[in-house]
Amino acid sequence: MTLDRRRFLGISAASIAGSLLAACDKNPEGAKPLLQLAERANEQVEGGLFRHSAMNHVGAKARLAGPSFPKYFISPTVPVWDPAAGGVWRLEVSGAVRRPLSLTLDDLMKLPRVTQKVDHFCVEGWNARAIWSGVRVSDIARAAGITDDAQYVDFAGFDKGYHESWDMQSAMHPQTLVAYGMDGYLLTPAHGAPARVHSPVKLGYKNTKYLTRVVFMPGRNGGYWSDQGYEWYGGT
Amino acid sequence: MAPLVKRNHWVIRLTHWVNLVAVVLMAGSGMRIFNAHPAFARPGETFPLNPWEGTSIPAWLTFGGWLAGARHWHFAAMWLLVANGLLYLGFLFFHGEWRDIVPRRGDVRDAIEMLKFYLFVRRDHPPQGKHNALQKSAYFAMAVLGIVLVLSGLAIWKPVTLWFITALFVNFKWARFVHFTAMALLLLLALVHVFMVFSVDPYSLRAIFTGWYDRARSPEARNARPFYHLFGGTRPAPSSEAPRP
């Protein structure tokens, strides 16, 4: 009697464990709605925890990644802005704004400059330190006069259509920059020249490089990696 | 009739098995996430504390398929792990079961006696209550590791928003190292736990499924060491039931 029950329990436990393992292995479509539900719920939690006063601090003595800072782009070769083809590089600020802007690099550099030594958090699990110089996205938003419809912002660049859209709260964080300088020098093509988004509050893939357009919008617009299955929020 | 005692409350049994599912999901997906960058050094730096820098976890131990998939599993299953862990710890606290695992004076001495017994230095199984001192310390360590895993996990999930948790572990890099190391230790203790259940006290399986335990078959009653039946000189299990063929 006891042996039978024990056997029964053993077999049940083994079959539950077996089906669980099999399920995990195949990553079944059945789990997808649950995972998406969890992602939406996590966004609520992440947004609720988010504070503009919670900042990333890197010690003054912390080592910079310098030349080891990983270089990344989706084009087959380093994207370089070609003035012969596209004219003078400009950052177009549009969408839910009262005054659309078209800023040259000089215009951008005339806006209040912020220089900060912060972490760059990659989704892969590493972090790297650099000193970034640029303009706060919140200052650009103010200059363009965003309207109440500006609930999200899409950052798009000339790297083969790379873009990522953000929640407004993260974009307005004081450490979220349109950066044109890195470690005291102008940005190099390998790191997103002439300008890129950089913020410690989002994972690396949300920080669009080779930036050309900042579009404020009432809804989210996905993104290059978000559309492929990575979390849209991607916050730190 | 067998002198059965109720050993495990249903909350303990439920949280034990939910925990198994949650830990398998978290460890499997966590190791897949780790494999996206199987090292602790920042770019351009070294990390001498890990002799296996750059070595991936074998794929068959991981799941989630790819980095994004594993992250979705990890950030979904974490709620199961945390909710279940809170239920377990809350129950231990309010129902008094914490006394079964929280170390107290004399446990070190008792643990040494257990080690002597397992190493054949001592002939008789030391007297014990529900758990022996080695078990107690292992279960207590697993609960502590669980708490460390949740805290270090929050530290690397939200290193900016929850910077004050990250600061508990110095910074992001060290929090990630603590998170990984705590996971490895927890899995090691879990493996030892399973080994000891099957090799020393298989009768405790009934207690974790149904709650009932036969004291006459306890390791103490049987003077059981791991695989005791393979060695001579141990007491046979006293039969508490009618003789069977």
Range of the domain at B87: 4-40+58-230
**Chain B within 8 Å of A190 (Cβ-Cβ)?**
no
Whether A68 sits inside 8 A of B43 (CB atoms) is yes
Which chain B positions have a beta carbon within 8 Å of A15's beta carbon? none
Amino acid at B30: G
Does ipTM exceed 0.90? no
Strand-by-strand arrangement of the A163-167 sheet: A101-103, A91-95, A211-217, A152-157, A163-167
| Contact between A163 and A226 (Cβ < 8 Å) | no
The residue in chain B having the minimum alpha-carbon distance to the alpha carbon of residue A236 is: B158
Q: What residues of chain B have any CB closer than 8 angstroms to a CB in chain A?
A: 21, 24-25, 28, 33-34, 36-37, 39, 41-45, 63-69, 71-73, 75-76, 79, 157-163, 172-173, 176, 205-206, 209
Contact B172 A127 (CB under 8 A): yes
**pLDDT (0 to 100) of residue A217:** 98
What pLDDT does A119 receive?
Answer: 98
Task: Scan residues 79-108 of A and list those with Cβ closer than 8 Å to B.
Answer: none
Q: What is the model's pLDDT at position B244? A: 47
| Structural domain includes residue B48 | no
Task: Write the residue in B21, B42, B158 that is nearest to A126 by C-beta.
Answer: B42
Tokens of A77: 């070769």
* Domain assignment present for B22: yes
**Distance between CA atoms of A173 and A54, rounded to whole angstroms?**
9
Q: Mutate one of B46, B67, B160 to test the A interface: name it (highest A CB count within 10 A).
A: B160
What was the pLDDT predicted at B3?
78
Q: Evaluate whether residue B50 is within a structural domain.
A: no
Residue A30 pLDDT = 80
Hey, which residues 127-146 in chain A have their CB within 8 Å of chain B?
A: 127-129
Task: Note the pLDDT of residue B168.
Answer: 97
Confidence at residue B129, expressed as pLDDT on a 0 to 100 scale: 86
Please report, for chain A, how many H helices and E strands are present, in that order: 6, 10
Q: Which domains does chain A have, with CATH numbers?
A: 1-49 (no CATH), 60-228 (3.90.420.10)
Separation between Cα atoms, residue B14 and residue B84, nearest integer Å: 9
Residue B47 lies in a domain: no
Asked if B159 and A123 come within 8 Å (Cβ–Cβ), the reply is no
Domain count within chain B: 1
- The pLDDT tens digits for B165-190 are 999 999 999 999 999 999 999 999 99
pLDDT at B19: 97
The reply to whether A60 touches chain B by the CB within 8 Å rule is: no
The Cα angle at residue B174 between residues B83 and B180, in degrees rounded to 5: 50
Structural domain contains residue B119: yes
Residue B243: what pLDDT? 46
Q: Average pLDDT for consecutive 10-residue bins of chain B (245 residues)?
A: 85 97 97 97 95 96 95 97 98 93 93 94 91 95 98 98 97 98 98 95 94 92 82 54 47
Domain assignment of residue B53, yes or no: no
SS3 B128: coil
Residue type, A164: E
**Which stretches of chain A score pLDDT less than 50?**
1-3
In a domain, B46, yes or no: no
Name the closest residue on chain B to residue A27, using Cα atoms.
Answer: B64
DSSP 3-state percent helix, strand, coil across chain A (nearest 5): 35, 25, 40
Model pLDDT, residue B135 = 94
Is A202 within 8 Å of A234 (Cβ atoms)? yes
Q: Residue A166: which H helix or E strand, with range?
A: strand A163-167
Read off the CATH number of the domain in which B214 is found.
Answer: 1.20.950.20
Residue B230: its pLDDT value, please? 65
pLDDT of residue A2: 45
How many contacts (CB atoms, under 8 Å) link A and B?
A: 117
A119 inside 8 A of chain B by CB:
yes
Flag if A38 and B34 touch (Cβ within 8 Å): no
Residue B32 lies in a domain: yes
B43 to A230: CB separation less than 8 angstroms, yes or no: no
pTM: 0.90
